[in-house]
Amino acid sequence: MSRKGTLSATNLAIYHHLSCDLYLHNVYHGPAGPVPTSTSSEILKAQFERGTDWESLLFSWLDKGCLLLTVPSIPLQANQLRENIQADDRAHFFIAGLTFWPPKEALKAHFLANGTECVNFGLAKLDLLEIIRGDDGCITWKVIDAKASNVVKVC
C-alpha cells in the first residue's frame, strides 16, 4: 500500500499552468507509469525562475518602503507568529518567509464531520502575509500569493 502524496500551493500552481488534471492526480496518487520530464522540467524551471525573480523584486520594494517583516524560514507555531505580529508596532506591514504545518487533527475532524475523505496538506509556505492593525487594536490578516504570471493573478 503506497502513501498518498500531499497537495501544496506549488503543485496547484503547476497544475494551473499546465491545465492538466492528470498532473494533479499524479501528484497526489503517484504516476501510473514513467513520466517524461525533459521538456516539461525545462518549462517548469523557467517558470519557477521567473517567479523567484518577481518575488525578489516585490520583497525589495516592500523592504525599501519599510513594509516588510522577515521571519526565519522554519515552521512557526501560532503563538510564535502572534508574538512577532504583536511586537511590531506598524499599522500595516507584510510578513515574508512564513512557514507552518497545517492543523492536521482539526482538518481531519472537519473532513470527517462533513462526510468527506481527508486530504493531506503539506507544509504551508506563504509568499506574504499582510497585516493591518485597526485603530481598536484588532488585527486583520490576508494571505498573498505573489504571482509573476498575468494568467493566474487575481485582483
Residue 3 pLDDT: 44
Could you tell me if residue 58 is inside a domain?
yes
Could you tell me if residue 71 is inside a domain?
yes
What is the pairing mode between strands 68-70 and 92-96? Answer: parallel
Host domain of residue 40: 9-144
Residue 94 burial (C-beta neighbours within 10 Å; 0-12, 13-18, 19+): buried
Could you tell me if residue 45 is inside a domain?
yes
Could you tell me if residue 39 is inside a domain?
yes
Could you tell me if residue 118 is inside a domain?
yes
DSSP for 38-64, written as a single string:
HHHHHHHHHHHHHHHHHHHHHHHHHHH
Could you tell me if residue 154 is inside a domain?
no
Could you tell me if residue 132 is inside a domain?
yes
As for how many domains the chain has, the answer is 1
Could you tell me if residue 150 is inside a domain?
no
In order along its 155 residues, the chain shows pLDDT tens digits of 344 566 666 666 666 666 666 666 676 676 665 555 555 677 667 766 776 777 888 889 999 999 999 888 889 888 888 898 999 999 999 999 888 888 889 989 999 999 998 888 888 888 899 999 999 989 999 988 766 555 544 44
Q: Which residue has the cell 488585527?
A: 139
